[in-house]
Amino acid sequence: MLHALKLPHWGDRALYSRRIGSRGIERVDELITRRIEKRIPAVYLTGETWFAGLPFHVDPRVLIPRSPIAELIERRFAPWIDFRRVRRILDVGTGSGCIAIACAKALPRARVDALDISPEALEVAAGNVRRHRLGRRVRLVRSDHFSALAGERYDIIVANPPYVGRREMSGLPPEYRHEPPLALAAGRDGLDSVRVILREAGGHLCPGGVLIVEVGNTEAAVRRTFKRLPFLWLEFERGGGGVFLLTAEQLV
């Protein structure tokens, strides 16, 4: 409603006593009708969402940011790594760039590489990088996982990859049909991307570095498939889960 009426989200209580004209009511009704009848996610209708306390443009070229990893970034990855020694961060599957940009804001001494296989997603990410004036510290890279990063090493690798299996994909609510399938679907069991990350991430981590990956509802499948890996499954005060952490040494 505030978006349709071009009103600020941070207004005081007086905002709610304002009278709305007929044209304003029409704009609100139009948005709400599209949300209900076409099941379009609200942030695709407004073109904006928030992640780790920062605003981002989003549209159907990118997944809607909703990762609990935001909470980790706000804590500067404490206690899992000393943020004062972090110089390089890699965001695998950056989408809108929200994780990469939030990392750059939270750790101002670090440089961030943000990669994605989708040129359309990288266009959205580039706009968000410009919006937050981080062009000198956030580098966008078109890459299928680590293929364009030969020889590059990082203190933190963070990933919110596709992890939805075929059966789960077919049963998702209609809202998800508006998101890019490339950012959701990950083969029969949802592990196609996770397998690549676990196989190759160790070769791109500095000693003492950490890998953090969100796998959502695929957590049980990850536990079954990679029984020998000593995953640390993280907990979040604001809810969410399915995020594991491994150190560089554990991956080796």
Provide the pLDDT confidence category of residue 56 given band limits of 50, 70 and 90.
Answer: very high
pLDDT, tens digit, for every residue of 57-115? 999 999 999 999 999 999 999 999 999 999 999 999 999 999 999 999 999 999 999 99
| Nearest partner of 194 among 168, 167, 229, 148, judged by Cα | 229
Whether residues 51 and 82 share a domain: the answer is: yes
CA distances from 84 to 36, 121, 137, 202, 206 (A): 47, 31, 16, 22, 15
Q: Are residues 103 and 89 in the same domain?
A: yes
| Spatial separation of the C-alpha atoms in residues 68 and 236, rounded to whole Å | 7
pLDDT at 240: 87
Count of structural domains, the chain: 2
Backbone angles phi, psi at 168, to 5 degrees: -65, -35
Residues 131 and 230 in one domain: yes
Do 124 and 20 share a structural domain? no
**Full residue range of the structural domain in which residue 15 is found:** 1-37
The verdict on 84 and 175 lying in the same domain is yes
Q: How many angstroms separate the CA atoms of 75 and 137, rounded?
A: 20
Residues 159 and 241 in one domain: yes
Average pLDDT, the chain: 95
Both 23 and 142 in one domain: the answer is no
Q: Do 92 and 160 reside in the same domain of the chain?
A: yes
∠ CA(73), CA(76), CA(77), 5° rounding?
80
Cis peptide before 79 (omega within 30 of 0): yes
* CATH number for position 143: 3.40.50.150
Question: Interior CA angle at 130 toward 125 and 132, to 5°?
Answer: 95
